[in-house]
């Protein structure tokens, strides 16, 4: 699976779910179940790479403003939500996290959806009958050091004015 194939599956699942992130996760699982185990692993590699790339202070600041706070576990789920919105939203947020002020919808809630980081191996387990311990390893980063410049809560208004106006 290439990058375009990965984003195509994300887009298909989002459109089929009417944009609802919780329903999208179920739909994504159904789409992955139609794939071979190797394709599911490839999907997971892309997902893991995008998830790790989004481990950035600016995105954590955005998640903090949108949700009125954001723990480290919440930030894991936020990054899954961000990927679920598709390549255009993801790349725009990577360039400018404040751009999320224009795309967060009411049903997104705090923009934290647990499960995106697990969906591929869960479907793979069901498809192969093997356990998570047998899921093929990959050498992608898992979010070691957070990228970017750290922030303090009192700096968020100036750093993310559009998000602050909308959610602050």
At 45-93, the pLDDT tens digits run: 999 999 999 999 999 999 999 999 999 899 999 999 999 999 999 999 9
What burial letters (b/e) apply to 88-106, b meaning 16+ CB within 10 Å? ebbebbbeebbbbbeebee
- The structural domains of the chain, with segments of one domain joined by +, span 3-136+150-167
Say yes or no to pLDDT of 147 above 60. Answer: yes
Closest alpha carbon to 47 in 75, 97, 12, 81 = 81
Greater confidence (19 vs 59) lies with: 59
- pLDDT-based confidence at residue 132 (cuts at 50, 70, 90): confident
Contacts of 166 (CB under 8 A, 6+ apart): 101, 104
- Reading the block at residue 100, the tokens are 């999320």
**Residue 148 vs residues 37, 51, 57, 87, 136: alpha-carbon distances, Å:** 35, 15, 5, 21, 30
- Reading the block at residue 10, the tokens are 């994300």
User: 147 forms bridges with which residues in the sheet?
Assistant: 56
The Cα–Cα gap between 99 and 59 comes to: 10
Say yes or no to pLDDT of 141 above 80. Answer: no
Say yes or no to pLDDT of 106 above 80. Answer: no
């Amino acid at each position: 699976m290439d990058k375009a194939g990965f984003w195509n599956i994300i887009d298909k699942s989002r459109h089929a779910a009417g944009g609802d992130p919780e329903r999208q996760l179920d739909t994504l699982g159904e789409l992955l179940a139609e794939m071979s185990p190797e394709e599911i692993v490839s999907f997971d590699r892309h997902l893991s790479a995008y998830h790790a790339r989004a481990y950035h202070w600016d995105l954590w600041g955005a998640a903090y403003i949108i949700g009125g706070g954001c723990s480290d576990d919440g930030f894991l789920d936020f990054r899954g939500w961000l990927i679920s919105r598709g390549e255009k939203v993801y790349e725009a947020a990577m360039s400018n996290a404040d751009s999320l002020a224009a795309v967060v919808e009411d049903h997104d809630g705090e923009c934290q959806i647990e499960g995106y980081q697990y969906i591929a191996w869960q479907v793979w387990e069901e498809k192969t009958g093997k356990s998570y311990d047998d899921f093929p390893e990959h050498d992608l980063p898992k979010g070691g050091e957070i990228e970017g410049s750290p922030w303090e809560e009192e700096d968020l208004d100036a750093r993310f004015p559009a998000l602050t106006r909308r959610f602050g």
